[in-house]
Amino acid sequence: MNLLSDIKQKIDRIDPIAYGKTRNYLSGAVSRLSAYISRGVISPIYVAKHILQRYSPDQARPFLYQLAWREYFQKIWYRHGNKIFTDWYHVQQAERSGISNAVLQAATGIEVLDNAIVSLYTTGYMHNHVRMYVASLLCNIGRYHWLMPARWMYYHLLDGDLASNMLSWQWIAGTFSHKKYYFNQDNVNHYCNSHQRGTFLDKSYGEISEMPCPELLKESSLLPLKNNLPNSSTLQLDYSRPLLLYTSYHLNPNWHADEEANRVLVLEPGHFENFPISENVLNFIIQTAKAISGLQIFCGEVPNIPDIKRFKKIISIEHPLTRHFPGIKEEPEWLFPGVYPKGSFSSFWKLCQPLLSTLKTS
Ligand SMILES: Cc1cc2nc3c(=O)[nH]c(=O)nc-3n(C[C@H](O)[C@H](O)[C@H](O)COP(=O)(O)OP(=O)(O)OC[C@H]3O[C@@H](n4cnc5c(N)ncnc54)[C@H](O)[C@@H]3O)c2cc1C
């Protein structure tokens, strides 16, 4: 089936009312759209408008609320750039760096977490609530600094997005929020249909937040994350036509679809050295990019595209990772244009809410 109709079916299946009631459960009515949203195949506004054709703004609110979280993180990244890679409001009082081997090897002894880590390695997906558990286990119970574990998770996620990822880890670790997030075995059992007892998490919240790091979590590794970017094939370029630049965050097959143009997906080694991605993720990007007609792949830095200066028109989409791209930068399709974070998410959401009914009618 065609990629876009497959995605459209996923969107048609979203029931925002059931979503609101069940999204925290492992078996909840989540959409699993994130890889397509993060990779720019579809925009949040496209998803939102489809949902609003079938539901009122009130009914759609729980789902749009999550899309707003994504936009909040994105807009912080656009505005503050690399600051998202540093402790935001508070410095984390971490005792360890690297990442716990028990987590890397899916051997924490917490069945739900170990299964979810194995599944992350094979499918590239992890449920939001389990992402929160894993981040809390590492940062707050194991007292690891958040940055390296965040890079490990980003490496494996098909939906890997640096803003949602880094700022979510910081939110859990309490550097981007006012308190750390804790969980216990009861919480895991309740939301993940598990019945495990007697684990090191089988305690009250008070005990969990006070307990020393369990021995099991202490042994750690520095991350050996490697990229395997494909070899660049020789580009066939027609310099009389515009050059459209795609990235791993912008793979929209409908973008300038009617135009005669050179279409090049740029995978810049400099970026991937800083933020490696797994082979699974790379394959997903390349497979997804096949939906873009006539697309060629260039593994190299943009200025090294052969004779790039000969192009009269170069177009890309504005993004924190492409500020050095030459040519025209088109504005991304924001869900809430003109609304910018000035502090907490709740103050951002307050400004977004009045726009929900406009979204429905636009
Ligand atoms: C530690 C941690 C790391 C994360 N890393 C990423 C990441 O790299 N990339 C990423 O896209 N999301 C990330 N998230 C957010 C969230 O977990 C995923 O977007 C969500 O689980 C994707 O599954 P879904 O499409 O089924 O989501 P649904 O629950 O169906 O949500 C619909 C859409 O809303 C957005 N969304 C939902 N929840 C969140 C959230 N908490 N924050 C931001 N956007 C959200 C996503 O675009 C998602 O596709 C992270 C969360 C945590 C706690």
Query: Does residue 321 form part of some domain?
Result: yes
The secondary element (H helix, E strand) that includes residue 279 is helix 279-289
Mean pLDDT of 190-202: 98
Is the C-beta atom of 335 inside 6 A of ligand 1?
A: no
CA 248 to ligand 1 centroid distance, Å: 17
**Is the domain of 214 the same as that of 126?**
yes
Tell me how far CA of residue 353 lies from CA of 23, 343, 359, in angstroms. 20, 16, 10
* Residues with Cβ within 8 Å of residue 344, at least 6 apart in sequence: none
Q: Are 318 and 352 found together in one domain? A: no
- Tell how far the Cα of 34 is from the centroid of ligand 1, in angstroms: 6
- pLDDT for 64 equals 98
Average pLDDT, the chain: 96
Q: Which atom of ligand 1 is nearest to the CA of 38?
A: 11
Residues 134, 184 within the same domain: yes
Q: Considering only CA atoms, which residue is closest to atom 16 of ligand 1?
A: 128
Q: For 265, list phi and psi in degrees, rounded to 5.
A: -85, 120
Nearest CA to ligand 1 atom 47: 34
pLDDT bracket for residue 233 (50, 70, 90): confident
What gap in Å lies between CA 112 and CA 130, rounded to an integer? 8
Residue nearest to atom 18 of ligand 1 (CA): 128
Give, for ligand 1, the residue of 66, 67, 148 to mutate: max count of ligand atoms closer than 8 Å to Cβ. 66
The finding on whether 135 has its CB within 6 A of some atom of ligand 1 is yes
Which band of pLDDT confidence, cut at 50, 70 and 90, is reported for residue 27? very high
Cα–Cα distance, 246 to 244 (Å, whole number) = 7
Q: Which ligand 1 atom is the nearest neighbour of the CA of 160? A: 8
Same domain, 45 and 135: no
Separation between Cα atoms, residue 56 and residue 97, nearest integer Å: 47
Whose C-alpha lies nearest to ligand 1, atom 20? Answer: 128
How many Cα neighbours within 13 Å face the side chain of 294? 16
233: in domain: no
Confidence (pLDDT) at 223? 82
Do the Cβ atoms of 264 and 325 come closer than 8 Å?
A: no
Residue 1 predicted with pLDDT over 70: no
Q: Are residues 62 and 99 in the same domain?
A: no
In a domain, 139, yes or no: yes
232 found inside a domain: no
Q: Is pLDDT at 87 greater than 70 in this prediction?
A: yes
Task: Name which of 2-11, 121-130, 236-245 the model is least confident about.
Answer: 2-11
Radius of gyration of the chain (CA): 21
* Mean pLDDT score, 244-251: 98
Mean pLDDT for the stretch of residues 184-207: 98
Kindly state whether residues 96 and 213 are assigned to the same domain: yes
State whether the beta carbon of 271 lies less than 6 angstroms from ligand 1. no
Residue 184's pLDDT is 98
CA distances from 161 to 154, 184, 239, 266 (A): 7, 27, 33, 17
**Nearest-CA neighbor of 237 among 176, 170, 187, 307?**
307
- Residue 211 and residue 135 share a domain: yes
The residue nearest atom 8 of ligand 1, judged by CA position, is: 160
Per the structure block, which two tokens stand in for 181? Answer: 């997030």
Q: How far is the CA of 330 from the centre of ligand 1 (A)?
A: 25
pLDDT tens profile 158-192: 999 999 999 999 999 999 999 999 999 999 999 99
Structure tokens at 243: 């050059």
Q: For the domain that residue 155 is a member of, what is the CATH number?
A: 1.10.579.10
pLDDT for the residue 361: 84
Ligand 1 centre to CA of 356 (Å) is 20
The domain boundary residue, chosen from 221, 256, 287: 221
Residue 235 pLDDT > 70 = yes
Question: At how many degrees (to 10) do helices 147-156 and 128-136 cross?
Answer: 150
Question: Quick one: 68 and 96 in the same domain?
Answer: no
pLDDT in tens, 95-114: 999 999 999 999 999 999 99
Residues 46 and 107 reside in one and the same domain = no
**Nearest-atom index, ligand 1, CA of 157:** 8
What value does the mean pLDDT take over residues 197-201? Answer: 98
Which atom from ligand 1 is nearest to the alpha carbon of 162? 8
| Identity of the amino acid at 170 | Q
Whether residue 208 is found in the same domain as residue 115 = yes
Tell me, yes or no, whether 247 lies in a domain: yes
Whole-prediction pTM? 0.97
List the residue whose alpha carbon is closest to atom 43 of ligand 1. Answer: 70
Q: Which domain holds residue 141?
A: 92-221
* Minimum CA distance residue for ligand 1 atom 36: 66
Is residue 7 a part of any domain in this protein? yes
Q: What would the mean pLDDT of 351-358 be, rounded to a whole number?
A: 92
165 lines ligand 1 (CB under 6 A): yes
Whether residues 322 and 354 share a domain: the answer is no
153 plus 33 within the same structural domain:
no
Between the CA of 329 and the centroid of ligand 1 the distance, in Å, is: 26
Structurally, how many domains does the chain consist of?
3
Sign of the four-CA dihedral 63, 68, 70, 71: positive
Single-letter code of the amino acid located at 215:
E
CA distance 164 to 76: 10
35, part of any domain = yes
Q: Is 154 in the pocket of ligand 1 (CB under 6 A)?
A: yes
Nearest to 312 by CA among 240, 227, 360, 216: 240
Q: How far apart are CA 61 and CA 150, in angstroms?
A: 29
User: Does residue 339 register a pLDDT over 90?
Assistant: yes
Q: Is 169 in the pocket of ligand 1 (CB under 6 A)?
A: yes
Residue 226: the pLDDT is 85
C-alpha distances out from residue 355 to 44, 132, 343, 352, 360, Å: 14, 29, 19, 6, 9
In a domain, 257, yes or no: yes
